[in-house]
Structure 1
Amino acid sequence: MEKPQDKVKEPIADYGHYSYADYLSWQLDEMVELIRGNVFRQAAAPRLIHQRISRKIFNPICNFLQGKRCEVFSAPFDVRLPVSSRDPDKIDTVVQPDLCVVCDPEKLDELGCVGAPDLIVEILSPGNNKKEIQLKYEVYETSGVKEYWVVHPDERTLLIYTLETGKYRPSRLFTFGDRIRSQALPGFELDLNEVFGEL
């Protein structure tokens, strides 16, 4: 039986379940993510504050990782979260975190990352869909992402979810005056005055 994706090169919003194989066939001018087979389109380019915060987190992590095994990547960078296979037809989640750190080079290939990064940073935008946010949390948790940071630019806050025995444990809410430490990157500290200052 012929499927819609056999005829077109872009997803149809209300058609069933998509795979990474479908994702690779689409020719789109916009960035999309695939979460549990559902397509989420990015509403618009990130705001200026989003870009500044991303840079202020990326640069210290990048400097810290110099000479180390781990690497940090910024969007657009595909992270495929398969259950147990590298087969594009069996992968139904492809996300583009704002930032991610991968410490296992075996997870990297020319198309991005296959499997859970050690650290993911998501910076919220006005266009973020609540369902998308919830689905990402669940996918990151079940896929084994060790640490997940959620940054709220307008409120100048950062929340860390740390994976413990398969479930995320939330930190307190961090803001100005706080220095945060990462369990996924032992020895790394981030001064939130530098992240949220002069935005």
Structure 2
Amino acid sequence: MEQDKEISKTNEPISEYGKSSYADYLTWQMEEMVELIKGKVFKHAAAPRVNHQRAVGKIFITLSNFLNSRTCEAFVAPFDVRLPVKSRKNEDIDTVVQPDICVVCDPSKIDELGCVGAPDLIVEVLSPGNNQKELKHKYDVYQEAGVLEYWIVQPVECTLMIYTLVNGQYQASKLLTMGDIAHSQAVKGFELDLSSVFENINP
């Protein structure tokens, strides 16, 4: 595969790469972050906006402080999460994502390359240009892989939607916003005050 191919500037899959695996992914040398979703290559949007980074930082710090001295561990992007279907062999894995934040409670899923298997909690903070990927493509693969809880944060609108896996299907919470306290079922005891998350967000 040629390393100098131009990456698409949309969140549509990059068709020129064909169907790829994690083994292919490991050979690429790209300046931009990409993800694999069912063998299709997706380019990350441009560098995250300030609101995105503020929200990610607040949530990650709160999670990390809560998980101190606990088995579960929080990670922030860039961090490869491989979601195997058939096997854990690199050539068989066709989905590799980099969630903004993830929490992994099974230490056996962590290796030097990142996480292999479904995290317990994934948090994605939306940025202009990546909404379709998060709301459709990632929703599907996270549900299929068995991610117990998927949080979608919209920083500009100051909202959070929580999807909880019940009998293999996601069930949505009510739409949460300023003044609400978010409670995690996947990370027992974790609460997030959304007013503190969104207090410095610029409209």
TM-score tier (shorter):
over 0.9
Mark the runs of 5 or more structure 1 residues left unpaired by the alignment: none
Judge conservation of contact 1:10–1:26 (CA < 8 Å) in 2. Answer: no
What is the match of residue 75 of structure 2? 73
What is the match of residue 157 of structure 2? 155
Q: Which amino acid aligns with 1:83?
A: V
Judge conservation of contact 1:156–1:175 (CA < 8 Å) in 2. Answer: yes
Q: Tell me how large the CA RMSD over aligned residues is.
A: 1.3
Q: Distance in 2 between matches of 1:78 and 1:178?
A: 31
Q: Compared with structure 1, are the counterparts of its residues 10 and 34 closer, same or farther at alpha carbon in structure 2 (3 Å cutoff)?
A: farther
What is the match of residue 130 of structure 2? 128
Q: Compared with structure 1, are the counterparts of its residues 178 and 129 closer, same or farther at alpha carbon in structure 2 (3 Å cutoff)?
A: closer
Q: Which amino acid aligns with 2:198?
A: F
Total equivalences in the alignment = 193
Judge conservation of contact 1:80–1:115 (CA < 8 Å) in 2. Answer: yes
TM-score (norm 2): 0.91
Q: Compared with structure 1, are the counterparts of its residues 43 and 16 closer, same or farther at alpha carbon in structure 2 (3 Å cutoff)?
A: same
Q: Distance in 2 between matches of 1:54 and 1:24?
A: 26
SS of the equivalent of 1:25 reads coil
> How far is 1:43 from its partner?
2.4
Of 87, 99, 117 in structure 2, the residue corresponding to residue 97 of structure 1 is 99
Judge conservation of contact 1:30–1:41 (CA < 8 Å) in 2. Answer: yes
* 4+ residue segments displaced more than 4 Å: none
Q: Which amino acid aligns with 1:71?
A: E
What is the match of residue 3 of structure 2? 9
Q: Compared with structure 1, are the counterparts of its residues 15 and 60 closer, same or farther at alpha carbon in structure 2 (3 Å cutoff)?
A: closer
TM-score (norm 1): 0.93
Q: Which amino acid aligns with 1:53?
A: A
Q: Compared with structure 1, are the counterparts of its residues 53 and 129 closer, same or farther at alpha carbon in structure 2 (3 Å cutoff)?
A: closer
Q: Distance in 2 between matches of 1:37 and 1:132?
A: 16
Question: What pairs with 1:6-155 in structure 2 (closer than 5 Å)?
Answer: 8-9=2-3, 13-128=15-130, 130-131=132-133, 133-155=135-157
Mark the runs of 5 or more structure 2 residues left unpaired by the alignment: 6-13
> How far is 1:132 from its partner?
5.4
User: Percent identity of the aligned residues?
Assistant: 63
SS of the equivalent of 2:182 reads strand
Q: Distance in 2 between matches of 1:63 and 1:84?
A: 35
